[in-house]
């Protein structure tokens, strides 16, 4: 169940980053961001042992950091418009859709697990 919770957290983080990118679609010079969990996991496995913190791009952003958070990075290789913005609406909408689907899938499996627990507690009644 912990793994499903982490998957739901990752889906929410991906959705939040995509929503932030969409919100900045008209901001000159804005670079599209993405959350990379594979690099964060590799860093943990290499023995760095530090708790990962999200990247604060402004001094008024809230700090924090829960277990399982990824690394927020600029997306490389995206074409920039004349104003320097690299947000691609189709890419971000696809990311929102995928993260929503991932969350819903994890939620469905988690609900099934809870139904099994309830069934066991009620002894099959």
The stretch 96-122 carries a mean pLDDT of 93
- Beta pairing partners, 73: 34
Which two three-digit tokens encode residue 14?
């991906």
3-state secondary structure of 32: coil
Sign of the Cα torsion 9, 20, 102, 117 reads positive
| Contact of 83 with 31, CB cutoff 8 Å | no
The predicted-structure confidence for 12-68, as pLDDT tens digits, reads as follows: 999 999 999 999 999 999 999 999 876 555 555 565 554 555 555 655 554 444 445
Render 50-106 in DSSP notation, one character per residue.
Answer: PPP-PPPSSTTS-----TT--EEEEPSSPPP-TTS----HHHHHHHHHHHHHHHHHH
């Amino acid at each position: 169940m912990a793994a499903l919770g982490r998957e739901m957290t990752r889906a929410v983080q991906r959705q939040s980053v995509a929503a932030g990118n969409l919100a900045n679609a008209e901001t000159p010079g804005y670079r599209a961001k993405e959350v990379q969990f594979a690099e964060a996991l590799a860093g943990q496995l290499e023995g760095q042992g530090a708790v990962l913190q999200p990247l604060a791009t402004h001094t008024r952003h809230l700090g924090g950091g829960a277990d399982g958070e990824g690394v927020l990075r600029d997306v490389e290789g995206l074409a920039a418009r004349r104003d320097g913005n690299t947000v691609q609406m189709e890419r971000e909408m696809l990311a929102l859709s995928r993260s929503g689907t991932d969350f819903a899938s994890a939620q469905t499996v988690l609900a099934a697990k809870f139904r099994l627990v309830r069934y066991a507690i009620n002894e099959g009644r």
